[in-house]
Amino acid sequence: MKRQWCGRLGKVENCQVGVYMSYVSRKEHALVNMRLYLPREWTTDRSRCKAAGVPPGTRFRTRHELALEMLDEAGPALPHGWVAGDDEMGRSSGFRRALRERTERYLLAVPSNTLVRDLDATPPQYAGRGRPPKTKFLRAERRRAALPETAWTKIDVRDGEKEPLAIEAVSRRVQARTDRKGPGPEEVLFVTRERQSDGTYDPDYYLSNGDPATGVGEFARAAKAAHRVEEGLKRGKSEAGLGDYESGHGGVGTIIKPCRFWRRGS
């Protein structure tokens, strides 16, 4: 165990972190794979690894590398249309690039402070000298706030306990800053928002390499299937004793269309 970021608790805690893959279809869902994340300090401490039963030769791998390993291992056997995951997965431009290289279509959550250039916005007027100006990189949350109300589409994404769950969504063609601070390839920024009881909105942000012409309803279907992963973890607790472990659990999954959903946890 090590003090590290715990996705389930939303803070640094003494825990272990697992990366889980879940397969989700319109009819059912199930956890299909997992990897235990070992901090670098563990993999370089051979005596500790031996005492804990870690196989010899185990090297340090990031959560993204573990997720890609599972995708390469199980992906061909699981027909799918989307790979999705939480913002721990989506914030890495390297992970998104690796999915593009595998010709995977992804929809990955990203933090609200992700810097994006809106390719659908009208660029500043050209002064006639030098290169034509481009729209500035701004935080995704600022791009959302600048959108007119007419840009949003209302969607019923799934049945709630009392009534259908309705969200509003919008998609824009963007470029996002890469991990090296340069401009990345064209992607789609997909934003959803849910109205809260006090009248405010709770937004979520995603980046995708899907066709910009994809309807917001299809993006929303993949994004909101994430709750089925949580149901899979709860099912594992009640039916297979997944919660009966000294450090708890959590994970990364996949939604594929059937979708795969990765969710990091601890």
| pTM, rounded to two decimals | 0.84
Instruction: Determine contact, residues 19/262, Cβ cutoff 8 Å.
Output: yes
- In the chain, the domains with their CATH numbers are 87-121+134-225 (3.90.350.10)
Distance, CA of 78 to CA of 258 (rounded, Å): 8
Distance, CA of 214 to CA of 71 (rounded, Å): 24
Q: What is the mean pLDDT of residues 140-151?
A: 95
pLDDT at 241 (0 to 100): 62
Distance, CA of 46 to CA of 172 (rounded, Å): 49
Instruction: Determine contact, residues 224/25, Cβ cutoff 8 Å.
Output: no
Most confident of 37-41, 123-127, 170-174, 256-260: 170-174
> What are the structure tokens assigned to 212, written together?
């910009």
Per-residue pLDDT of 164-195, as tens digits, reads 578 999 999 999 999 999 999 999 999 999 98
Nearest to 245 by CA among 42, 32, 17: 17
Nearest to 264 by CA among 22, 32, 14: 22
Instruction: Kindly report the three-state secondary structure assignment for every residue of 128-148.
Output: CCCCCCCCCEEEHHHHHHHCC
- Per-residue CA distances from 64 to 60, 90, 94, 256 (Å): 12, 10, 9, 17
Q: How confident is the model at residue 94 (pLDDT cuts 50, 70, 90)?
A: very high
Three-state SS for 75? Answer: helix
Length of the chain: 266
